[in-house]
Amino acid sequence: MELRKGIAVSPGIAIARAMVIDSKDYRIPRRSIMASQRAGEIKRVRRAFADAIRELDQIETAKRIEEGAIRDIFAVHMRFLRDKRFLKRVTDYIEKELVTAEYAVSTILREIASHFEKVDDVYISERAADIYDIERRLLTHLLGKVAEEVEHLREEVVIVAHDLAPTQTASFNKTFVKGFATERGGRTSHTAIIARSLGIPAVVALEDLMSCVTAQSTVIIDGNRGVVVIDPDEATLEEYRAHARRFTEFEHELDGFRDIPAVTRDGVPITLLGNVEFPDEAEVVLQKGGQGIGLYRTEFLYLYGGTEPTEDDHYHAYSEVARLMNGKPIVIRTMDLGADKVPHTNRHPQEANPVLGLRSIRYCLQNLPLFKTQLRAILRASTLGDVRVMFPLITTMQELCQAKMILRDVMEDLDEYGVPYNAQMPVGIMIETPSSALTAGLLATESDFFSIGTNDLIQYTLAVDRGNEHVSTMYSAAEPAVLYLIRSVIHDANKAGIGLSVCGEMASEPEFVMLLLGMGVRTLSMAPPLIPEVKKIVCSVTIEECNLLARKVATLDSQRQIKNLLRDAAGRILPVEY
Ligand code: PEP
Ligand code: MG
């Protein structure tokens, strides 16, 4: 039995067999096979070689590579892949060591690469990079088969991976994927956000997890406490089954909150909204007692399928949400592509530092046809319900004015063609950067509402990558600098008399709900499955005690003290299971 501690990103407890998948940064742990599986693994290796050769052939033909240096690299790769001795080394290794195809490919190729690296000749030592490249290509073919298996699962599993892309997570079939654990990631990485939306227990930032899990392992994922247990003994299994039962009971108790209003004990109504990515999640918002959609992340329209969505694709998605919400508010955020949300369509540039690069509204303002297509669809959908538009990652007043000018251009186009839309559609912005937080008073003059995106606001304020497990302990909403900015934005929004909500993950973290209420926030937007839990907190407290807590927090100068104080306060409301 082995126990690993990571970051809990999605609550609940899952117990199942492990399904190990590797993505980008391949580090293949040694996994043994039985003698009877040998022939099958060798067949997989041969197929991967054949597929890689075919793929290189296709790239070469399609791109009609003429440039000498690039042609040479392709030739080197081809030579390696066609070299029968090289393939034989890999298959011999499987025969002898009884290991998986992935492990054999990775081990043999890394051996060859390290041999090259040691040669005291620059030309030869640089060939090591080619070997790593060939390794990656072969592994992509081998592991691609695993991806297919995930789609066609017939038994319950927990997914174990080095990292998962948001699109991979979103495609999990909840019936069979009971939870996941990854070596990379942070609480507000988009993969974690999707896990919460799907209601799948998940733990991330588990160092060296891959080296101790095999496909035969039973794994417990404790998404409440951030613990993963590999090959648990009988006593531990029993203990976790009991936890899981208590957690399910608590979830049932929360169901009771669905139809009651979110009002504090001293009578202050709080608006609880859902964050969604896909139209059918609107139904979950309603099932969980949400009063509308506070954040519709539309970039997911771009992340699936090989082509860019058309205006009608957008319109159909928005009109479906409007139909389901039946007059309840829907805040459609214009696309927030970039950073960890990069489309398959390949239009996005490669950047050394994408979080500070051409992402979000910046990308839209440099790709006007794309932006206008989306705005047209949003405006057309604005007649179908209480639809509002929100621009993400606004950093400066100039950016906001530009975005609004383009919106007006699109309105004029629609006027010309007699297409109806709501000319009074509210236009809001996300406050996600220190720059917009500090100039919120100014931005309020051009905005109908603000939504504080704490996931990015924390990242940019503290200069801590939200998806990087190496600095995850430094990423905290309880840092005084973050709270200072939030307080200041609330003050500016109230002074300007415009709407304000919080839609980052902080809005649904039990320890922060009371604090946000005490700081003056009255609208919170979150992953739909978390709405009942937040409602329970709202209904259990008075605004007076929240104000007191917020005043106390303002006197503390370390995130540790603040966190402890907030945890104690939340602990009086929620069971220890949380
Ligand atoms: C945020 O940054 O807080 C936010 C809600 O946006 P996203 O998580 O999609 O970046
Ligand atoms: Mg954001």
197 within ligand 1 shell (Cβ under 6 A): no
Q: How far apart are CA 137 and CA 115, in angstroms?
A: 20
Residue 93 structure tokens: 């290794």
Q: How far apart are CA 335 and CA 374, in angstroms?
A: 8
Q: Measuring from atom 9 of ligand 1, which residue has the nearest CA?
A: 297
Q: What is the pLDDT of residue 194?
A: 82
Q: Measuring from atom 7 of ligand 1, which residue has the nearest CA?
A: 455
Tell me, letter by letter, the H, E, C secondary structure of 494-548. Answer: HHHCCEEEECCHHHHCHHHHHHHHHCCCCEEEECHHHHHHHHHHHHHCCHHHHHH
What residues are neighbours of ligand 2 (ion), with CB under 5 Å?
A: 432, 453, 456
Domain extents in the chain: 2-23+153-232, 35-143
298 within ligand 1 shell (Cβ under 6 A): no
Q: How far apart are CA 251 and CA 574, in angstroms?
A: 11
Residue 455 structure tokens: 């996931």
Q: Measuring from atom 1 of ligand 1, which residue has the nearest CA?
A: 453
Q: What is the pLDDT of residue 240?
A: 94
Residue 384 structure tokens: 């179908």
**Which ligand ends up closest to the CA of 277?**
1
CB atoms within 10 A of CB 526: 29
Which phi and psi angles does 285 have, rounded to 5°? -55, -45
Ligand 1 center–CA 190 separation, angstroms: 8
Q: What is the pLDDT of residue 448?
A: 98
CB atoms within 10 A of CB 353: 8
Q: Any bridge partners for residue 161, and if so which?
A: 21, 182
456 within ligand 1 shell (Cβ under 6 A): yes
454 within ligand 1 shell (Cβ under 6 A): yes
Specify whether the CB–CB gap between 431 and 470 falls below 8 A. no
Query: Same fold for the domain at 2-23+153-232 and the one at 35-143?
Result: no
* Complete edge-to-edge strand list for the sheet that includes strand 218-222: 2-5, 227-230, 218-222, 13-21, 157-161, 177-182, 202-204, 7-10
Q: How far apart are CA 422 and CA 328, in angstroms?
A: 16
Chunked mean pLDDT (size 10), the chain, 578 residues: 90 92 60 87 92 82 58 79 91 92 88 81 73 82 69 85 78 88 86 85 90 83 93 94 90 87 97 93 94 94 76 96 97 90 65 91 96 98 98 98 98 98 98 98 98 97 91 94 98 98 95 97 95 95 98 97 95 72
- Homologous superfamily assigned to 35-143: PtsI, HPr-binding domain (1.10.274.10)
504 within ligand 1 shell (Cβ under 6 A): yes
Report the alpha-carbon angle 452-457-461, nearest 5. 145
Three-class DSSP category at 367: coil
Q: How far apart are CA 12 and CA 216, in angstroms?
A: 23
**Which ligand ends up closest to the CA of 186?**
1
- Homologous superfamily assigned to 2-23+153-232: Phosphohistidine domain (3.50.30.10)
Q: What is the pLDDT of residue 24?
A: 44
Q: Measuring from atom 8 of ligand 1, which residue has the nearest CA?
A: 455
Q: What is the pLDDT of residue 23?
A: 46
Atom of ligand 1 nearest to the CA of 297: 9
Specify whether the CB–CB gap between 382 and 425 falls below 8 A. yes
**Which ligand ends up closest to the CA of 193?**
1
Ligand 2 center–CA 336 separation, angstroms: 8
Q: Any bridge partners for residue 236, and if so which?
A: none
Ligand 1 center–CA 156 separation, angstroms: 31
What residues act catalytically? 190, 503
